[in-house]
Structure 1
């Protein structure tokens, strides 16, 4: 188990203060809101050149302008990226020029009503997994040139279920918005597990994390009553502790920068440390066994390649 000396209360800026990212280039998807903003702030403070990849370019530019002023780092820029659109993702990857040292796959959608992309894919899986899968593979040559790290922001919601390969997109089974979110977050973890197998010789590592329970725009598809009911059903009503966005971004910074993860892929972190296996008596804690299954990871990669045309 990898332990770092950090914990629940650690902030991203605390981690950034001991990280030297001078000369490093980073992309943060969803870097214009929530923990994405704090991730960009911390990376820029540590000296990185950061690109905010976001759907709303105007909002992202406002964030970039603010963070340039706050950090004194003028190398913060913006790129258009809509992860639900394969056309947008491919265009972003195609337009990237030069090496890439850190890819923070942070953006996502949560608990949406049943929505399908033009391809007929369920929106949460299409955005949270397929979008980042295409982006990461599209940036492969830039990543391999520098021995980069890919960081997938997953969630304790992965404990809600494995990837249902027989019906990923709810073509035949009743749609459950939380189950759909959960399987997309399981996919974020499995992605890193298989990447460790396939890319070990390329010098690229990929790991996943749970940022914590944070009030952000991610919950925009839920009423407060729906969110509270979900917390009650999960059994976490008496154990749930809410983090600030600054604390929520800390685990991302740890996974992106700690020397302890050099050459290591497929891990899942929470509260800045590697998570223990989930057990029945822990509420939304730990990593599920199906999210650490090499066969499921290999199957997900093959399904993703076949679906996306790689």
Structure 2
């Protein structure tokens, strides 16, 4: 069985990990750094991020690990992060996310789960795309969830103003992650690998906010895996030579079968075009390199 010990030498590569200040982002950043990558922790809370960075440096004294602020719920923050970024990007791990929360909106007025989990990462990927295409073998790994099966993309109500249910809203954002992953692979061809992952039921902030409440709290905690195991699909997707683009990798790690709703190319194209309009970010580098 594959483990993080099987990660190859990543010396000379640069990895950006969003949400590296908590949950599965922490072991993701740790293992990439431990195997030689320069890791940029993209976090909303710099103080919390600094605590995590110190812990990673204690565990891996030779780690090349940096900290930069990124708030995916604010497109001005996404643009500032990308504009200030220095050098090529070999691995982009779209890991950060919010889930199963009461209805709120982002700084730009988008429903929070869709705006953060999908639109924020869509914009970040597009803005970093020239750096991803600068070298061979770059990968974009987007953390989705099997909860995508609960979601549906209603283009007439992207703000979920008519009816908001926190679980289906989360599922919608995770479905958007998958549709984006596959559409990016189709548009990029062989110029990069775009892969989605499902970490499995993991004890993270998302689970605490959305599920770990009420009398079943203790019972649910018993069945949740630790973040280190939840990070395995992302680490495998980012580093294994066996990985091909357009896959959905879950616990094991192993490739999962996608339902027709995630494979709907018509919806994926419309979501892509809508996301470009909403964020103002267009993946021009794909056209320029055609």
| Partners of 2:143 and 2:234 within 8 A in 1 | yes
Tell me the residue number matched to 2:254: 273
Tell me the residue number matched to 2:204: 216
Runs of 4+ in 1 over 2 A off after TM superposition: 14-18, 117-120, 219-229
- RMSD (Å), alpha carbons: 1.9
Q: 2:126 aligns with which of 127, 132, 137?
A: 137
Looking at structure 2, the residues matched to 16 and 289 of structure 1 have their Cα atoms a distance apart, in angstroms, of 35
Q: Report the CA distance between 1:192 and its aligned residue.
A: 1.1
| Partners of 1:61 and 1:77 within 8 A in 2 | no
Q: Report the CA distance between 1:255 and its aligned residue.
A: 0.4
Name the SS for the 2:97 alignment partner. Answer: coil
Q: Report the CA distance between 1:209 and its aligned residue.
A: 0.7
Q: Work out whether 1:245 is the aligned partner of 2:227.
A: yes
Looking at structure 1, the residues matched to 224 and 211 of structure 2 have their Cα atoms a distance apart, in angstroms, of 18
Tell me the residue number matched to 1:49: 38
Q: Work out whether 1:308 is the aligned partner of 2:288.
A: no
- In structure 2, runs of 5+ residues without a counterpart are 282-290
Tell me the residue number matched to 1:288: 259
Looking at structure 1, the residues matched to 135 and 165 of structure 2 have their Cα atoms a distance apart, in angstroms, of 41
Q: 1:195 aligns with which of 181, 184, 191?
A: 184
The change in CA–CA distance for 1:227 and 1:290 in structure 2 (over 3 A counts) is farther
Looking at structure 2, the residues matched to 75 and 227 of structure 1 have their Cα atoms a distance apart, in angstroms, of 43
Tell me the residue number matched to 1:162: 152
Q: Work out whether 1:153 is the aligned partner of 2:143.
A: yes
Looking at structure 2, the residues matched to 167 and 206 of structure 1 have their Cα atoms a distance apart, in angstroms, of 28
- Compare relative contact order (CA 8 Å, sep 6+) and give the higher one, 1 or 2: 1
| Partners of 2:38 and 2:65 within 8 A in 1 | yes
Q: Report the CA distance between 1:61 and its aligned residue.
A: 1.2
Q: Work out whether 1:176 is the aligned partner of 2:139.
A: no
Q: Report the CA distance between 1:166 and its aligned residue.
A: 2.1
